[in-house]
Structure 1
Amino acid sequence: MFRPITIRELTIRNRVWVPPLCQYSVTERDGVPHDWHLVHLGAMAAGGAGLVIAEATAVTPEGRISDHDTGLWNDEQARAWSRITRFLRSQGAASGIQLAHAGRKASVWPEPTRKPGSQPLDEGGWTTVAPSPVAFDGLREPVALDEAGIRAVIDDFRTAARRAVDAGFDVVEVHAAHGYLVHQFLSPLSNLRDDDWGGSLEHRARLLLEIVREVRAEIGERMPLFVRFSATDWAPGGWDEAQTAIVVGWARDAGADFFDVSTGGLVANARIPVGPAYQAHLAEYVGERAGVSVSAVGRITSPTQAEELVASGAADAVMFGKAMMRDPHFAMRAAHELGAGTSMWPVQYLRARPEANDGEW
């Protein structure tokens, strides 16, 4: 877990990583990250994480999950993000950002006061889009994107990627998971199109692959490009790990480097066998079938559990979400428990190291 990893020209100090964690905290509704995001992400960088990926960040206002989401569709947002990336880098962590479009799952009420259903149009909500006019359970019906609309989405990802570079991020991740727009195109349960953007697997994957190509062209050859997939919809007739492995291979050929493997999100009330590391076997499957590097995520809560996944080759890194929110210094604690040293401790905290306190954490 504490062996560095190099992807393209970026070396990340360890494999204890922070996945995108939506905060729904932009109360000004302008997509601009602020002090909360600096402290939230900065604490985990200071706590020893190798890579810290900022939350699902919309490439267009209509792509937000809620109107309290962060964005990267204008230069003001990029300038605000640059303050955060500078701090993450000062703490020795690599910084990533997940570029996202929520599609039919957009325009919902922000947490933690989320109400049922879509946010009404006359109360700040907006018309949502999707590959087909099929609503997510409990939300209003989206409008099917036409050719021009699809092309605009691809361009929105491209320009957001340019702003991510300008803001100082080290990694860009394309969000193709959790039932959001790109995943909606991938799954036959939400993509009912019969044109060049639907039907066959090649056509359903087309949006993702064109986004990957455009983002790669924009960020250049030095910067790592990640894609987050849901390996399965956990639903009959839906997206599954076999399709994921095939499309991951195509995405690699299109310019992606690393694959962040999660599951679910497309179908409400899917029966998901949640338990310790319940998605890790799917990350291993995708990595082996496609011959790519992957991270595991989901109910991985202990250093030894994560160490076993990486040491066995099941995953190349582990994403710790709730564990990091509970303890932003999780990486330093994991290093202590695994006997990996204390090189990532901030100088301001050195007197708190276990070695300076009779070995007590």
Structure 2
Amino acid sequence: MAKIAESFQIKSLQLKNRIVMPPMCQYSVEAKDGIPNDWHLVHYVSRAVGGSGLILIEMTDVEPDGRITDYDLGIWSDDHIPAFRNIIEGIHKYGAKVGIQIAHAGRKAEDAAQPVGPSNIPVTPEWKVPRALTTAEVKEMVKKFQEAARRAVEAGVDTIEIHGAHGYLIHQFHSPMINNRTDEYGKDLSLFGVEVIQAIKQVVPEEMPIIMRVSVREYMDGGYEEDHMIEICRRYLDAGVDMFDVSSGGEGPAGKTKPGNYPGYQVPFARRLKEELQVPVIAVGILDNPHLAESVIGNGDADLVAVGRGMLHDPYWALHAIEQVAGNARNIAPKQYERGF
């Protein structure tokens, strides 16, 4: 039996294998209303047919101006619930579990007339200058994350992933180079993320796990390194996070230190977080090679592996990977496709 084909359980979330389809923006909303359409339905359900254990729906934002572009998904209204429910029910029919990545782009909201953030520091001088949220607006933003999670639960998700990585709003708050506030959210860089986690915990079932996606290190000159983020993650763990989805960067252009661009380059970040915090983690970062993905699980570097671009290339990546590693996937392929395996 391949390690990536083994089941995994955390709280009420029971997965048939260790393979995750990570959140990947499709920029395909047709009416700019944030509501998923037929493209999203086919996109996600096909990966469920293709064998993924967990599918994380792409970055889905808590308000219209919280999107990267106007063509991104949103969940700021109850009007969004039926379309998400339709997709989630389709995924469940084929044995996959599903989560949704709840987020706000902050200063990286490209189509907002004026983006917002913890401060008025733009990504680069060429980007729009964000407006710093007032303390009262930050507290209101926490409620928006909470309401988004409530809607996701009503739509039928099995887990919630909070986006605290890649330079988006929560990441911006815990980054010393981006957050220059003097209020409580500047004195405690983890506070906004902690409050979002605590608020979401109030509206999800007790046994539903909460995943937090984090950038363990930044690459801009002066950006934080691993030790800083590990301490932030300790706070997030205490607030109620059950698993971390471990990535890096995204805060802005890289400086002297450049991110890796080779298979498995982010796996050491996942392993360190797993070891330091004794918490389950998802590893990411060019894990398209099935034997590499297998080794990540087999070596204990991570509990789950997320394969993004590989699944864009091949909707059936999970089945093909298990077939390649184990030598046979016929017993796990959909019965309609067994002849092909």
What's the TM-score, normalizing by structure 1? 0.90
Equivalent in the alignment of 1:13: 16
Equivalent in the alignment of 1:116: none
Match for 1:337 among 324, 330, 336?
Answer: 324
1:221 aligns with 2:206: yes
1:17 and 1:318 in contact (8 A); partners too:
yes
Match for 2:307 among 320, 327, 330?
Answer: 320
Q: The residue matched to 1:282 in structure 2 has which SS?
A: helix
1:244 and 1:286 in contact (8 A); partners too:
no
Q: The residue matched to 2:5 in structure 1 has which SS?
A: coil
Alignment gaps of 5+ in structure 1: 109-118, 120-124, 354-361
1:132 and 1:191 in contact (8 A); partners too:
yes
Equivalent in the alignment of 2:169: 181
Deviation of 1:344 (Å) = 3.1
Q: The residue matched to 2:311 in structure 1 has which SS?
A: helix
1:44 aligns with 2:47: yes
Distance across 2 between alignment mates of 1:167 and 1:191: 34
Alignment gaps of 5+ in structure 2: none
The letter of the residue matching 1:239 is: Y
Deviation of 1:306 (Å) = 0.8
1:296 aligns with 2:283: yes
Deviation of 1:235 (Å) = 3.1
Distance across 1 between alignment mates of 2:15 and 2:287: 20
Match for 2:252 among 267, 270, 273?
Answer: 267
Equivalent in the alignment of 1:231: 216
Equivalent in the alignment of 1:347: 335
State how many pairs are aligned: 334
Equivalent in the alignment of 1:99: 102
Distance across 2 between alignment mates of 1:33 and 1:93: 19
1:233 and 1:265 in contact (8 A); partners too:
yes
The letter of the residue matching 1:309 is: V
2:213 and 2:247 in contact (8 A); partners too:
yes
RMSD of the alignment, in Å? 1.2
Equivalent in the alignment of 1:28: 31
Q: The residue matched to 2:185 in structure 1 has which SS?
A: coil
Give the fraction of aligned pairs with identical amino acids, expressed as a percent.
Answer: 39
Deviation of 1:240 (Å) = 2.0
Equivalent in the alignment of 1:114: none
Equivalent in the alignment of 1:65: 68
1:141 aligns with 2:123: no
Q: Which of structure 1's runs of 4+ aligned residues deviate more than 6 A?
A: none
Q: 1:85 to 1:173 in 2, by over 3 A?
A: same
Equivalent in the alignment of 1:85: 88
Bigger drift between 28-37 and 247-256 goes to 247-256
Bigger drift between 238-247 and 83-92 goes to 238-247
Q: 1:205-248: CA deviations, max 9, x gaps?
A: 10000000110111021111100001111234322211222222
Equivalences for residues 197-208 of structure 1 within 5 A = 197-199=185-187, 203-208=188-193
1:191 aligns with 2:194: no
1:42 and 1:84 in contact (8 A); partners too:
yes
The letter of the residue matching 1:21 is: M
Distance across 1 between alignment mates of 2:45 and 2:178: 37
Distance across 2 between alignment mates of 1:13 and 1:83: 22
Deviation of 1:290 (Å) = 1.3
What's the TM-score, normalizing by structure 2? 0.95
Deviation of 1:257 (Å) = 0.6
Deviation of 1:336 (Å) = 0.7
The letter of the residue matching 1:105 is: K
Q: 1:182-211: CA deviations, max 9, x gaps?
A: 000011110011221114xxx111000000
Q: The residue matched to 1:218 in structure 2 has which SS?
A: coil
Q: 1:225-276: CA deviations, max 9, x gaps?
A: 1000011112343222112222222212111111000111102244222211
